[in-house]
Amino acid sequence: MSGSMKYLKQIRADFNRNSIVVYQAYRDDIAKPTLEKGRFIAPFSWNRMTWIKPSFLWMMARSNWAQKSGQENVLAIRITREGWEKALSLGVLTSFEPSTHGNPNQWREHFDQSKVHIQWDPERTIHGKKLDQRSIQVGLSRHIIKEFTEEWILEIQDYTPLVNKIRSLYLQGETQRAKKLLPQEKVYLVEESIAKSLGMV
């Protein structure tokens, strides 16, 4: 695969030596108790897949800047890099990729047994425009979600005020000021074996 194609599927994130930030958006009755307790509690469900995303602008496009019903609260969830990389190592792409999987049947067998689903979607600009670059989404199934909520999470922050401030600025035409408030994301490197399994090379 060409270098340009590699670039299209780089993981970009806000991270440091020990942790990485992923985003989720929830309605009030899940977000408020979670923020109050500093951990996920009911009515959060451990019996369904939950998707985590390291791209802030993709999360903004998905939640329409916290304006979409049921996604009014944007949470920044700092998790251990160990947990994140475990999720990536267990991940199986949500669709068959000839360059990654041996054959469709082999992919389907792995996908049906996988604890983690991986999907690449177009990255977005601050205005929501789709880019050629791809943004990773990681789906955690009920078989691993307890590990995510009880072992990986280091901190949960409410980014909704920040989201509202950035949105207000760009709606006023203050795009450069808005961009200065965006979380700083950089390329997150992964081992070659993981990159290959996720269709990045």
Tell me the per-residue pLDDT of 147-183, one tens digit each, with 9 for 90 and over: 999 999 999 999 999 999 999 999 999 999 999 999 9
Q: Where are the alpha helices (DSSP H) in 91-153?
A: 104-113, 145-147
State the Cα–Cα distance between residues 97 and 100, nearest whole angstrom. Answer: 5
pLDDT of 2: 34
> Residue 91: beta bridge partners?
116
Mean pLDDT of 174-193: 97
Helices (H) and strands (E) in the chain, counts: 9, 9
Mean pLDDT, the chain, integer: 94
What backbone phi and psi angles, to 5 degrees, belong to 19? -145, 165
Q: How many CA atoms lie within 13 A of 4 on its CB side?
A: 1
pLDDT tens-digit profile of 90-111? 999 999 887 777 789 889 988 8
Mean pLDDT of 26-43: 97
Lowest mean pLDDT among 20-24, 46-50, 74-78, 102-106: 102-106
The pLDDT of residue 1 is above 60: no
Task: Give the DSSP H/E element, type plus range, for residue 102.
Answer: none
Cα angle at 22 between 18 and 27, to 5 degrees?
140
Whole-number CA gyration radius for the chain: 17
Q: Where are the alpha helices (DSSP H) in 92-186?
A: 104-113, 145-147, 160-171, 175-180
Tokens representing 124 are: 């977005």
Who contacts 177 (Cβ-Cβ below 8 Å, separation ≥6)? 169
Domain boundaries, the chain: 3-188
